[in-house]
Amino acid sequence: MASRNAIRFLLPEHELRGKVVWVTGASSGIGEELSYQLAKLGALLAISARREDELQRVKKKCLQISSLSENDILVLRLDLTDRSSHEAATNSVLKHFGKIDVLVNNGGRSQRSLFVDTNLDVYNAIIELNYLGTISLTKHVLNHMIQRKKGKIVTVSSVMGIMGAPLATGYCASKHALQGFFNSLRTELTDYPEISVIQICPGPVQSQIIQNVFTENLAKSIENSGDQSHKMPTDRCARLTLVSVANDVQEAWISDHPYLAVCYLWQYAPTWAWWLMNRMGKRRIQNFKSGIVSVQCVPLPAACLFHPAGVVFCCGNVGIALLLTHTQSSVPFLQCSLVDAIYSFGTKKYLPS
């Protein structure tokens, strides 16, 4: 009975039906899967990336798996590093749909290289794409949302924005920059309570992101994406992302253990985190130098943490779910203080699998 009562505090992702959602980085990975799931939900889509042919492929599948019409999905080629084009791109979406309800900043690239071996122009490219490109597009879309006094700015960051890890110094820096920027932006929008700033921090996800990572120099790439079996399925990550967006979760950590456990350490016991990462990092560097791209870790029970003002905290197959009642409270002070603690067996009652 407790779980049935608690479920009313967790809005389903179907709340996004009929919303205009602009997804960047939609040609592959999390962005592609978000597009499919949003299409199934009945959201109106603007999908962007550099590769227009891949976007057309994504659009075709969206139409096949949903009831959307051709006009309900706008394909818009976009290079995040070309900041001069962002205003025109925003105007194109507004001209087509008349509004933008949700912006999903998902475009970006990861990194696999040691700092001492990496050219500085690689770091410039990482910041230009992952950070400056993201906040540039956000600026243009936010102006529209301020005029409407509502909207959702969603940024797919990473657990690397919470912790540090070897072989990803530039990537971690760009994600830490996003975390700091959007946490600060949220404080500047207190006069617009209907504008939500949401940060999604996925752990390792099954995708081909490794094939497109930055390496020691801009001309080099990694062809072997390594073993993906130990990573979270992309569809699971995308669905938890949409649940987070529907519920205006300010920050969501979406990951399996042991990566999630490491996030806990970085947040609450950084000295232990440094000790652990020094040992894990040494092995990771050794494997990288030996040509092993991906290192499989022994998985613990799946977990998802919405933090710190989140909707639900689920840990393992037997866990504790904490549901904040802020969506039901009309008193702002109580929005982060009313907590309904539910003990349950399994997490599927709260988070769809």
CA dist 232 to 176, 205, 353, Å?
22, 5, 11
Q: What tens digit of pLDDT does each residue of 287-338 get?
A: 888 876 554 443 333 334 444 433 333 333 222 223 332 232 232 222 222 2
The answer as to whether 210 is a domain residue is yes
Percentage of the chain beyond pLDDT 90 is: 62
Query: In sequence order, what are the beta bridge partners of 198?
Result: 154
DSSP state of 78: -
CATH number for the domain harbouring residue 238: 3.40.50.720
171 is known as an active-site residue: yes
The pLDDT value recorded for residue 294 is: 56
Supply the pLDDT for residue 334. Answer: 24
Cis peptide bond upstream of 258, omega within 30: yes
Higher pLDDT, 101 or 222: 101
In a domain, 308, yes or no: no
Q: Which domain does 243 fall in, by range?
A: 17-284
pLDDT of residue 342 exceeding 70: no
Question: What is the per-residue pLDDT for 327?
Answer: 31
Contact predicate 75/52, CB 8 Å: yes
- The reply to whether 348 falls in a domain is no
Distance CA 243, CA 341 (A): 19
Average pLDDT over residues 213-231: 77
Across the chain, mean pLDDT equals 82
In a domain, 81, yes or no: yes
Identify whether 335 is part of a domain. Answer: no
Domain-embedded: residue 325:
no
- pTM for this entry: 0.82
Q: Write down the catalytic residue from 131, 171, 259, 350.
A: 171
pLDDT band at 223 (very low <50, low <70, confident <90, very high): low
Residue 8 has pLDDT above 80, yes or no: no
Cβ-based neighbours of 190, under 8 Å, separated by 6 or more: none
pLDDT band at 225 (very low <50, low <70, confident <90, very high): low
CA atoms within 13 A on the CB side of 262: 27
Residue given tokens 């779980």 in the structure block: 3
Q: Note whether residue 100 is domain-resident.
A: yes
Q: Please, are residues 344 and 321 in contact by the beta-carbon 8 Å criterion?
A: yes
**The pLDDT of residue 353:** 38
* Residue 317 counted as domain residue: no
Domain count, the chain: 1
Residue 198 near residue 172 (C-beta atoms within 8 A): no
pLDDT in tens, 101-119: 999 999 999 999 999 999 9
Contacts (Cβ under 8 Å, ≥6 apart) of 127: 170, 173, 174, 177
What are the φ and ψ backbone dihedral angles of 241, each rounded to 5 degrees? -60, -45
* Per-residue pLDDT reduced to its tens digit, 47-88: 999 999 999 999 999 999 999 999 999 999 999 999 999 999
Nearest to 41 by CA among 7, 78, 1, 14: 14
